[in-house]
């Protein structure tokens, strides 16, 4: 088999990954925990090309060059090295969500690419091995291999993989805030945080504690504790980022208004908590039975989507090839 197609979904972290210990091996400074979504998948086909002299990459039917192609080609180099198969490949990928939503597309993208490439180049398809490989493409992709809820341990090259963790069923209410293109990539902003933010060390220490508390709260099925840890951890990440020199601010005025509304809903007895990645979109979490009411209460701020815990990365039949 020299062609393979895989599908993977984005994930949103409840305890965030923000900072690398080793940027070649892509080892994170701290562990993290996330929920894989059940919508906005990426489907990717990798087709080995025995006669080609370079890799090619198409996204949504458009030929991609420059930096995104370079990242894909470097990832394929790793797989060529491991498999001993030197052939280049044609990679065709499609993000099925609204691409403008800016929702963790590097996580679903590199997770789908890791699985499809493993299959096409004859590598192991064990989830831990695919997760370890996906990590080299983008840190958050490590977790998108795993269905529902995942913990990604900091670890070393061997142990820094994501594993499934049981957590109480919940929903994510994604509020897509319209904003300008993000100015600073997560990769760049992580480096700047480590180099210039006076809160960087505090971020690391509190995130290590937050992950251990989160694992306990998940085991206890304690949604309230999960929610509190989630919102506090997100605010601390944004505080550390905002304190960079020069400062970086991902949250828009609209994002802050959503966090205020989430708090007001809580004060009124509807239990929901917020988080946000490196952009202006806000994601609220709630128990399944409250999700529609939370979505309704947040609809005035932008397009709202309710997501349940979703599947891990999967291989698809040839008929679904891109
Ligand atoms: C804020 O995984 O996109 O979403 O590893 O450099 O590719 P690289 O970064 P990326 O960063 C994700 C950051 C985050 C938090 C998270 O998903 O845990």
Q: Is 144 in the pocket of ligand 1 (CB under 6 A)?
A: no
Whose structure tokens read 């994604």? 174
Is-contact 107 10, C-beta < 8 A? yes
Report the nearest-CA residue for atom 5 of ligand 1. Answer: 139
16 lines ligand 1 (CB under 6 A): yes
Between 131 and 98, residue with greater pLDDT: 131
Complete domains list, the chain, with CATH: 2-167 (3.30.230.10), 171-307 (3.30.70.890)
Whole-prediction pTM value?
A: 0.96
- Checking if the pLDDT of 179 tops 80, the result is no
* Spatial strand order in the sheet of 149-152: 11-15, 32-36, 149-152, 162-164
- What distance in angstroms lies between residue 316's CA and the mean position of ligand 1's atoms? 26
Residue 276 vs residues 235, 258, 285: alpha-carbon distances, Å: 8, 11, 11
| ipTM, two decimals | 0.99
Query: How high is the pLDDT of residue 100?
Result: 46
The mean-pLDDT minimum among 1-5, 71-75, 114-118, 224-228 falls in: 1-5
Q: What angle do CA 220, 223, 226 make, to 5 degrees?
A: 85
Mean pLDDT value across residues 266-288: 96
Test site for ligand 1: of 12, 16, 17, 35, most ligand atoms within 8 A of the Cβ: 17
- Cα 245 to Cα 131: distance, rounded to the nearest angstrom: 33
Which tokens go with 291? 């999700």
Residue nearest to atom 7 of ligand 1 (CA): 138
């Amino acid at each position: 088999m020299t062609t393979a197609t895989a599908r993977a979904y984005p994930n949103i972290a409840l305890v965030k990954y923000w900072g690398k210990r080793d940027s070649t091996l892509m080892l994170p400074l701290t562990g993290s925990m996330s929920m894989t979504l059940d919508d906005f998948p990426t489907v990717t086909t990798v087709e080995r090309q025995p006669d080609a002299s370079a890799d090619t990459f198409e996204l949504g039917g458009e030929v991609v060059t420059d930096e995104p192609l370079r990242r894909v080609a470097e990832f394929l180099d790793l797989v060529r090295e491991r498999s001993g198969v030197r052939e280049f490949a044609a990679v065709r990928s499609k993000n099925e969500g609204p691409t403008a939503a800016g929702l963790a597309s590097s996580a679903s993208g590199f997770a789908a690419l890791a699985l499809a490439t493993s299959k096409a180049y004859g590598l192991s398809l064990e989830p831990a091995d695919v997760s370890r490989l996906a990590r080299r493409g983008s840190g958050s992709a490590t977790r998108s291999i795993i269905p529902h809820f995942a913990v990604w341990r900091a670890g070393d090259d061997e142990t820094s993989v994501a594993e499934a963790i049981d957590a109480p069923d919940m929903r994510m209410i994604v509020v897509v805030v319209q904003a300008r293109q993000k100015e600073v990539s997560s990769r760049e902003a992580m480096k700047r945080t480590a180099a210039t933010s006076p809160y960087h060390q505090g971020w690391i220490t509190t995130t290590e504690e937050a992950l251990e508390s989160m694992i306990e709260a998940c085991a206890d099925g304690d949604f309230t504790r999960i929610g509190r840890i989630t919102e506090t951890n997100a605010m601390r990440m944004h505080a550390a980022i905002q304190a960079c020199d020069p400062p970086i601010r991902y949250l828009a005025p609209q994002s802050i208004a959503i966090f205020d509304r989430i708090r007001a809903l809580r004060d009124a007895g509807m239990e929901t908590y917020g988080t946000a990645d490196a952009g202006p979109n806000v994601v609220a979490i709630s128990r399944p039975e409250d999700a529609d009411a939370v979505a309704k209460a947040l609809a005035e701020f932008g397009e709202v989507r309710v997501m349940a815990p979703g599947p891990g990365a999967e291989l698809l039949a040839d008929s679904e090839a891109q």
